[in-house]
A and B are shown apart, each in its own frame.
Chain A
Amino acid sequence: MSINLFESILFATIVAGTPLLLVALGELVTEKSGMLNLGAEGLMSVGAVSAFAIALTMDSTVAGLVAGMVAGILLSLVYGFITIHLMANQVATGLAVAIFGVGLSAFLGKPFEAKVLEAVPRTVVPYLSDLPLIGRALFAQQWMVYVSWVLLALIIWFLARTRAGLALKAVGESPVSAHAIGLPVIRIRYFAVMFGGAMAGLGGGFISVFHTPMWTEGMIAGKGWIALALVVFATWRPSRVLLGAYLFGGVMISQLFFQSSEVQIEIPSQFLSALPYLATILVLVLISSNVKMIRMNSPASLGKPFLKENA
């Protein structure tokens, strides 16, 4: 494999992994508070359509991304209200949000179908992009890729080093105890859900504004579900989310390179297309088989409603 080809695959892998990274980080923070929001696919879809619509009509990439985040927050508030206030089942509500979001985005996106935005140019980081092998792939990306790394660093710092991060984790481990020591459990959970919504909206916005600058129905194509699996894959650790996101991005991309490589490989393309999803299943099976690892790392109250009167 030539160096050039390696660089191209790495480059494309990082692009494909970035939306997964953004969404999975948001979901991770949400789950750390004990809230299991399975609606990522729907949140990404409304984020993608809103970001595209605003970026197109206002001619501003940043405004588009903000719109995507706002849309993600709004839809996640629906989930939050139903599960936190009305204490409905989180799994069922999350699934409903996922399906509703996909449908809503198709409806909202009708007038914007098959319109195109100008591609956001790549931002080349001086010096770093001259590094051999990895330079171009890592440091000649669209700026949103760098933002995703900054967000990752901020989330690692927030969870490990701040009081607020500690409070968030306390709520996720035992909302009753957290309530007893005076933490505003409900408010913290709302913020966590909204943050997850914003990140999912941002991830959707990355797809519709940066990656493929257009909107089409169903363009999220299951990436929200992969992001959910990624959180489990990463055993709720942000740094591993990065690893997982690029791993899955790599699987998605490499099948295209396999097909067009000079040396032909005897694998049906349909199988290659299914590879990312097979990888998801495989990883979930491997991780779930280790019960101790799941129990050690997952927030203890994940998926359980908090009733103030019981505390």
Chain B
Amino acid sequence: MKRRMILKAGLAAAATSMMLQAPMALADDPAKIGFVYVSPIGDAGWTYQHDLGRLEMIDNLGDKVTTTFVESVPEGADAERVIREMAASGHDLIFATSFGYMNYVERVAKQFPNVRFMHATGYKGGPNFLNYNARFYEGRYLTGIIAGEMTKSDILGYVAAFPIPEVLQGINAFTLGAQSVNPDIQVRVIWVNSWYDPGKEREAAQALIAQGADVITHHTDSTAVVQAAQDQGAYAVAYHSDMSKYGKDAHLTATTHHWGPYYTEIAERMLEKEGMGESIWGGFKEGFVELAPINPVVPQAVQDKVAEVTEQIREGEFHPFTGPIVGQDGKEVLAAGQTMTDEQLGKMNFYVKGVNSKLPK
């Protein structure tokens, strides 16, 4: 008897609280925005930059929004569970910040037509589902110029995660940038088959250095490669974040990512109930990509050259993938004078000449 009364009271309370909450949600409740991260936020890296973007958005929009985030969500079935839970728990806008979430976002987006889904670095979309990406390869080309000027062995090392187009764009742009100042350059790639495995990233960096690479870069998430370069007396070009504090002598520069203004814009669209807009692929021009301050060991002439090419890229006068581009097998991929279309870039599945490694199929 007693137990039943408690149960009834509980139900009643729940019902009233729901009734109280429902109209409030229509009023000036802050919009809930969710972020799904593939790795821990930490002090640097892919996820750290996205979180900086989240914080900048909060700074800009104040108490109009509240945010939640989930770190270290693997790119598997767990991701779908996390994204669905966010959608089901009243989030109005969800940023899924890793390539591997794409199919899960697509599935959940269909089930929650009133929630806006933003997926980073993918290629799918829908009525309530956009993707956004940055032209990281623009920064890669510039850092390639620096690496090509700074190497003495003419061997550059690249620690890479997975052979997807985005990573291949980076490797190829880096190689082309280095070749633009040093035609003899060769780039060696080690695939570690993980976005975030500091132990393996470090071992890979050490293996590259041991085999003659004196400037190394990475397309993985941790600071391990920069640290390894610092310990072994090599140079490193970082990715995602300025990682100079992890290797003040080794760190030449970094291709850095900047999401804050874009996140603010997307959140404002949602608050103003405007349409979704279109998927975006932004580079230097849109402020998505920048270079970290260049280490003073890089000669001024090189820095000036980099600054010049940066401006050309920013103004749209120069595209890193401008022909003639020759593939690893010696066949021409792009004729002289042509530039690669976004579609071609998005499907990139080859190495350019100068990459001395085997592309995993």
CA distance A172 to B166 in the complex (A): 56
- Per a CB cutoff under 8 Å, which of A9, A214, A262, A264 touches B224? A214
With A216-B222, A261-B211 in contact, do A256 and B202 touch (Cβ < 8 Å)?
Answer: no
**Cβ-defined contact, B193 with A269, below 8 A:** yes
A219 within 8 A of B: yes
Q: Which B residues are CB-close (under 8 A) to A257?
A: 207, 210-211
CB 8 Å contact bits of A1-25 with B (1 = contact, 0 = none): 0001100110010001000000000
CA distance A142 to B237 in the complex (A): 26
Q: Which A residues are CB-close (under 8 A) to B193?
A: 269-270, 273
With A257-B210, A268-B360 in contact, do A212 and B202 touch (Cβ < 8 Å)?
Answer: yes
Q: Which A residues are CB-close (under 8 A) to B285?
A: none
**Cβ-defined contact, A259 with B190, below 8 A:** yes
**Cβ-defined contact, A212 with B190, below 8 A:** no
**Cβ-defined contact, B199 with A269, below 8 A:** no
How many CB-defined contacts (below 8 Å) exist between A and B?
A: 103
**Cβ-defined contact, A256 with B207, below 8 A:** yes
CA distance A264 to B351 in the complex (A): 14
With A113-B42, A262-B356 in contact, do A211 and B210 touch (Cβ < 8 Å)?
Answer: no
Q: Which B residues are CB-close (under 8 A) to A264?
A: 356-358
- Per a CB cutoff under 8 Å, which of B188, B199, B207 touches A221? B199
- Per a CB cutoff under 8 Å, which of B40, B157, B198, B203 touches A12? B203
CA distance A55 to B80 in the complex (A): 37
- Band of interface residues on B: 35 or more
Q: Which B residues are CB-close (under 8 A) to A268?
A: 360-361
CA distance A262 to B154 in the complex (A): 13
Q: Which A residues are CB-close (under 8 A) to B202?
A: 211-212
Q: Which residue of A lies closest to B356 (CB)?
A: A262
**Cβ-defined contact, A216 with B198, below 8 A:** yes
CA distance A300 to B204 in the complex (A): 43
B223 within 8 A of A: yes
B45 within 8 A of A: yes
CB 8 Å contact bits of A218-258 with B (1 = contact, 0 = none): 01010000000000000000000000000000001100110
Q: Which B residues are CB-close (under 8 A) to A262?
A: 188, 211, 356
CB distance from B251 to the nearest CB of A (A): 13
Q: Which A residues are CB-close (under 8 A) to B45?
A: 114
Q: Which B residues are CB-close (under 8 A) to A12?
A: 203, 206-207, 210
Q: A216-B196, A256-B204 are in contact. List 6 more A-B contacts (CB 8 A).
A: A114-B223, A212-B224, A219-B198, A253-B207, A259-B357, A269-B190
30 sampled A-B residue pairs with Cβ under 8 A: A5-B211, A8-B206, A8-B207, A8-B211, A12-B210, A114-B41, A114-B44, A114-B223, A207-B199, A211-B199, A214-B198, A214-B222, A216-B40, A219-B198, A219-B199, A221-B197, A256-B190, A256-B204, A257-B207, A259-B189, A259-B357, A260-B204, A260-B208, A261-B211, A262-B211, A264-B357, A268-B360, A268-B361, A269-B190, A269-B193
Query: Could you tell me which B residues sit within 8 Å of A by CB distance?
Result: 40-45, 48, 72, 157, 188-193, 196-200, 202-204, 206-208, 210-211, 213, 222-224, 227, 231, 246, 356-358, 360-361
Query: Could you tell me which A residues sit within 8 Å of B by CB distance?
Result: 4-5, 8-9, 12, 16, 113-116, 119, 207, 211-214, 216-217, 219, 221, 252-253, 256-257, 259-262, 264-266, 268-270, 273
